[in-house]
Structure 1
């Protein structure tokens, strides 16, 4: 993970430096009707990604931005490290310098997929993408997917603070301006409700595990155990506890400069539940409640979100 973390900070630093030279209307570009940050993603990467060949033992974390992917990514990285340590005959003909790759599907250069083909199993990959944008081989070969969801009001709140703190994303003068963008499909990686609706089609598949940010917060020990069980990683109680401790918000925030560079505090702001209550107006609550009802109420993902508990005043 050290190499991939170094790649992450390098990519982040380069994106920030480039974004600082760009106009606001240049920060996002459209691909298949969805907006993406131009300093992280590119058309060349999306085109190259189409030919990527997934494996049945790939470990994929899918989640909309600000749903907790940094947190659960840490958990998965720890679990994979434990798995690899327990494996025998780990020798590989691949040069060690090539064994780490920045794990986000859609971020990097167009040749990353050639390098990823050389990686030994299990390969760990993260993504914010809609399922239809992912390589078709992910579903054809039934790679295992952990789908992370979070209540939409906290997603919006976290995304607002994040956007205003990092230059590769458009910033907003007011929360009201951001809320209007969030509700009208003007966000990087698209509309959250459409994201949930699209992924709901796969939520019952045997190779997909759905996990909510809130349930992991409620019981991190059980959550980590469930994740490990889903991916077939056997843990001792001591190993389980060490993963839980290293992935606590306090621990990750403390190490954030090492893992996420100078912007570590931006990625780990609060890590809580119900921060939305500090921003949402009555009218905004009503608008989001209606959007939830329209897109995902009554679905598997809608039920999993426990909207009545986490999104009502």
Structure 2
């Protein structure tokens, strides 16, 4: 049974309520050349985040919006709970609700990073940020980073439906309008191709493991085992099966009211592969194929995405 996350849902509800009263052109602001939603992020929070001190045993998940970070977050939280239980890492006196923080590093108030110092190890931290915009302590202290990537056509498709369901992001009258914005660097958290390009510089780092949405869909058992091994968490076969079952789309959608409140209905739409085929025109396919080749052709992450398999009609 999932525990309700009161603070998490309070932040979501307040952000969406504030955004619903704003004009479309007021919803995003720019920081270091990247757009962010004003009701979730702020200049003051970004500046405060620079002082965030990462721990070497932090569990960090990096993924562009709509790449599956909520899905992977479920897996990582379950793995962390198993680790805590085995190592008796958390004392019974810890008040989980009192110490709860919004899991996305860049979302919250300016005092968040001071409060995070009180969180027991191992902290599960999620981010949509590019590596150059993350606190330097993450790399200095060699925290392990799980980098989640997804084929860009499905990212765009999922992002399109997401923008029509949340008030905190500009919505688009048509898919064609959204596609132009997606391809011209007008998305919250910036261009996906630039995101991939910047993270590709870290693809060979020993503290970075890359996993694709598609490979996890193909074999979640193997994916869970590989992720656990990367973070040094030993699992029994029973524990593996428990994590796999709890991270199924059906299970997460069923529990979404408890884990994400009303926001869950927007987050958990389909959870499948190749939905892009229902939206992309021939011209749009050609434009994205060209953009992918220009930014990611021949790169390690580009090859990892198996573009020919998942993105060619």
Structures share a fold, TM > 0.5? yes
The TM-score range, normalised by the shorter chain, is: over 0.9
Secondary structure class of the residue paired with 1:110: coil
Alpha-carbon distance between aligned partners in 2 of 1:42 and 1:253, rounded to the nearest angstrom: 30
Unmatched 5+ residue regions in structure 1? none
Answer yes or no: is the 8 Å Cα contact 1:148–1:213 preserved in 2.
yes
- d(CA) in 2 for partners of 1:153, 1:199: 18
1:56/1:29 Cα in 2 relative to 1: closer, same or farther (>3 Å)? same
Other-structure match for 2:44:
44
2:90 and 2:120 in contact (8 A); partners too: no
- What is the RMSD computed on CA atoms of the aligned residues? 1.4
Aligned equivalent of 2:128? 128
Partner secondary structure for residue 118 of structure 2: coil
Matched with 2:82 is 82
Separation of aligned partners in 2, 1:128 and 1:89: 28
Unmatched tracts of structure 2, length 5 or more: none
Equivalents in 2 of 1:166, 1:108: separation in Å? 18
Within the alignment, does 1:91 sit opposite 2:91 as a pair? yes
1:84 Cα deviation (Å)? 0.6
Contact preservation (8 Å) 1:98, 1:115? no
Alignment CA distance shift 1:243-1:96 (3 Å) = closer
Compute the displacement of 1:117 (Å): 1.1
Alignment partner, residue 246 of structure 1: 246
- The corresponding residue for 1:113 is 113
- Paired positions, count: 312
1:288 alignment partner in structure 2: 288
Determine if contact 1:165/1:266 at 8 Å carries over to the other structure. Answer: yes
Q: Is the 8 A contact 1:253 1:264 kept in 2?
A: yes
Per the TM alignment, residue 263 of structure 1 is displaced from its structure 2 partner at its CA by 2.5
Residue 7 of structure 1 corresponds to which residue in structure 2?
7
Contact 1:94 1:118 in 2 (8 A): no
Q: Cα offset for 1:96?
A: 5.4
Give the CA deviation at 1:92: 8.0
User: C-alpha displacement at 1:19, in angstroms?
Assistant: 0.7
Asked whether the equivalents of residues 77 and 124 of structure 1 are also in contact (C-alpha less than 8 Å), the reply is: yes
Residue 122 (structure 1) shift: 0.9
Residue aligning to 1:18: 18
Deviations 1:4-52 (A, max 9, x none): x322211111111101110000000000000000110011110000011
The match for 1:149 is: 149
Query: Shift in Å at residue 100 of structure 1?
Result: 2.4
Distance in 2, Cα, partners of 1:179 & 1:96:
41
Q: How big is the shift at 1:98?
A: 4.0
> Aligned in 2, Cα 1:97/1:280: closer, same or farther, shift over 3 Å?
closer
Partners of 1:2 and 1:11 in 2: CA distance:
17
Q: Identify the residue that residue 176 of structure 1 maps to in structure 2.
A: 176
Mapped to 1, the partners of 2:139 and 2:90 lie a distance apart of: 28
